A and B are shown apart, each in its own frame.
Chain A
Amino acid sequence: MPHADPKGVLTGVHFLDGDHAACEGALAAGARFAAGYPITPSTEVVERFAARIPTVGGVFIQMEDELAASIAIAGAVWAGAKAFTVTSGPGFSLMMEHIGFAAMTETPCVFINVQRGGPSTGLPTLPAQADMMQARWGSHGDYEIIALCPNSPQECFDLTVRAFNLAEEFRLPVMVMMDECVGHMTEKVVIPPAEQIQIYPRRHTRRPPGEYKPYAAGDDLVPEMAHAGEGYRFHVTGLTHDERGYPSMTAGAQDRLVKRLKGKVTRAADRLACYEEEGVEQAEVIVVSYGITSRVAQRAVELARARGVRVGRFRLITAWPFPSRRLRALAETAKAFVVPELNLGQMSLEVERAAAGRAVTVQVPHAGGGVHRPEDILEVIMEVVR
């Protein structure tokens, strides 16, 4: 893989919050276009981009709403750019149609969601992790996306770079699912030299215009792209389409297209599943968590171990596609999964589905607006082993 364009890489050791680190990740990954609409607690990402991009070479535009921002990035991508947008709860709801459009038209792009409490206006300045299912299922129809969950400013940088690479490799929208705490927490962030940052290049076709079919895919089910202005004179539509990109309103065309859109991700699901685990092999109880909650859970695990309980830690880095296969295997040896998250039960349902009855799944719900107390998680662990 080629490496990053040094113009966008702020190599060095920094003290950054997660929002700013995510912006640096986007710049390092080669994003030269962002469209946004202000919304707490995510706005700092585009504020930094607006300040940085004129000296790197690119465009930031503040659009009139999130619907506009989420499709302006698609326009920029079809012109040749790497592009992203940033939002939080209410804005994420407005962007759903264009997440579906990006999935359907196979537009590589990145959506960063710094999650806050909901529903509706909810808790603008306080954390939640309650958009996890919306990230997966929020737009209508059958489709697949990829979603990543950083738990530190360093990971906000690292996973934003990865999000762009995955968007290009699979040609779909990739979500970086932050939360208010991770977005506003300031820590050390190490940005490596450009030559150490690998970049997945745009899958641009090498075929001449006469031989190019915009939606003909090879073995990996991902088609090649062309950009507007290059003489290909191609058509892109959100309607169900054939390999030429032409609308095709038949059950057969729908079956071929939608199954390919899903298949290109599901067949790579095991490779995409990224997680961190520790002490799970001999564990009686495994705490499954992600984002800021994983850092609270770590303390709960330490407290439980001090009381002699065999507890393992499992942290989701890829939320979608969900690492079902690994959790299914762990369900054979562990007695229970304990799943704290800042919602009233979202990823815990996936854990329960993956466990398929081989191990018990116990939620530790929290409606958002703060984080769990480690003792709350500890209490559930102790109840489970009792």
Chain B
Amino acid sequence: MNGEGRDPAELGPRPEAEIPGEECAGAPENPVEQFLRVDRMPHIWCAGCGIGTTVNSFARALLESKINLDRVAVVSGIGCSGRVAGYIRLDSFHTTHGRAIPFATGLKLANPGLTVVVYSGDGDLFAIGGNHIIHAARRNIDLKVICVNNLVYAMTGGQTAPTTPVSALTSTAPYGCHEPAFNLPALMEAAGAVYVARWTTYHVRQLTRAMVDVFKKKGFCFIEVLSPCPTLYQRKNRMGDGLDAMKFYKEKSKIRHGAPTAEADLSKEGEILVGKFVDRERPEYMDLMRAQLAQQLGERYVETEHLVCN
């Protein structure tokens, strides 16, 4: 499943004057605008979609963490959330379906000085890319993974994902989903992630703080963001629009930092456990590799930092 919808921003160049912001000269500049490719606006996301909210949190986290933006790379897979890389004005890579993690692995190992963020969706990271994410967590490679979870495949029209709650309607489960869903925080903790948190797009401040946290943390970090899909998931399940989703998140969410991830299962209408569940230390992949090789090879080991040719 690898569909790509029509993209209003891609139908042709827009006149300069239509770029948002330019027609209201004198208005204060939005502080996150510097992180966006405004020449690509409008974006493809639907009204009420939560992906843009997560990007806003991401931009604010970059601002707050005072990280060197030239050294941050964003890697996405395919899908609605996979389009994030295309809108963020940083070095950004829109890769193949499910393979953002192994691309990011190569990028990070060849230049460990980069802060590498993987920004993608639940289907991309946990269905087609499921094998890669568990191995990256096992290795504890220093990647910051932001998983926007909208509970369905949205780009292709609302099909069942490995996160779709039981009984929810999707375009490939017209009589209700009967498959058990993944509990993403539990899976990531079991696989070895050193930081595991879940927030929703209602919790923008907490989400920003979690992103600031992972910029500082070394190792494989995972943030799940529950994000509404009014066009597909909510419409099919008669759950209202984007605003209704905010009310739903507000009502159903329960913040419990440090809660056992085994209790973080999601259901269609049940409680949404949110918070920072895991924050632990494990040796990072490159450190382990260097220590092992130095121990075995002694002075023969040539330690490298950036593998740049020429």
Contacts and interface: CB of A to CB of B under 8 A. Distances in A.
A64 interface: yes
Contacts of B91: 228-229, 232-234
A236 B109 contact: no
B4 interface: yes
B308 A80 contact: yes
Interface residues of B, number: 55
B304 A58 contact: yes
Contact of B93 (A63, A78, A81): A78
B96 A71 contact: yes
A32 B92 contact: no
Nearest to B111: A79
Interface residues of A, number: 56
A238 interface: yes
A205 interface: no
B296 to A, nearest CB: 8
A175 interface: no
Contact of B302 (A30, A55, A228, A247): A55
A246 B44 CA distance: 13
Nearest to B297: A54
Interface stretch (B21-29, B97-105, B166-174, B235-243): B97-105
Contacts of A97: 96, 99
B270 interface: no
Contacts of A272: none
A65 B131 contact: yes
Among B86, B110, B289, B302: residue with most chain A CB under 10 A: B110
Contacts of B90: 233
Given A68-B99, A71-B96, A80-B309, A54 B302 contact: yes
Contacts of A55: 297, 300-302
B37 interface: yes
B21 to A, nearest CB: 19
A64 B92 CA distance: 24
Interface string A18-55: 00000000000010110100000000000000000011
Contacts of B297: 54-55
Contacts of B86: 235, 237, 246-247
Nearest to A100: B96
B70 A80 contact: no
B73 interface: yes
Interface stretch (B7-15, B53-61, B181-189, B200-208): B7-15
B32 interface: no
B109 A228 contact: no
Contacts of B293: 54
Contact of B114 (A54, A79, A204, A247): A79
A81 B131 contact: no
Interface string B14-42: 00000000000000000000000101100
Given A32-B307, A57-B302, A71 B135 contact: no
Contacts of A72: 102-103, 105-106, 109
Contact of A239 (B89, B94, B109): B94
A235 B85 contact: yes
A239 to B, nearest CB: 7
A231 interface: yes
B217 interface: no
Nearest to A67: B99
Given A72-B105, A75-B110, A238 B310 contact: no
Contact of A229 (B6, B92, B113, B135): B113
B139 to A, nearest CB: 8
Given A55-B302, A56-B302, A59-B109, A81 B307 contact: yes
Most B CB atoms within 10 A — which of A65, A201, A238? A238
A99 to B, nearest CB: 11
A35 B107 CA distance: 12
Given A33-B106, A64-B131, A229-B71, A71 B310 contact: no
B218 to A, nearest CB: 18
Contacts of B93: 75, 78, 228, 235-237
Nearest to B40: A246
B95 interface: yes
Given A7-B302, A61-B109, 10 more contacts: A32-B309, A59-B289, A64-B102, A74-B103, A77-B110, A81-B307, A83-B106, A227-B111, A233-B70, A233-B91
Interface of A: 2, 7, 30, 32-33, 35, 54-59, 61, 63-65, 67-69, 71-83, 97-98, 101, 201-202, 204, 227-239, 246-250
10 contacts: A33-B110, A55-B300, A59-B109, A59-B304, A64-B135, A68-B102, A75-B108, A79-B108, A235-B92, A236-B92
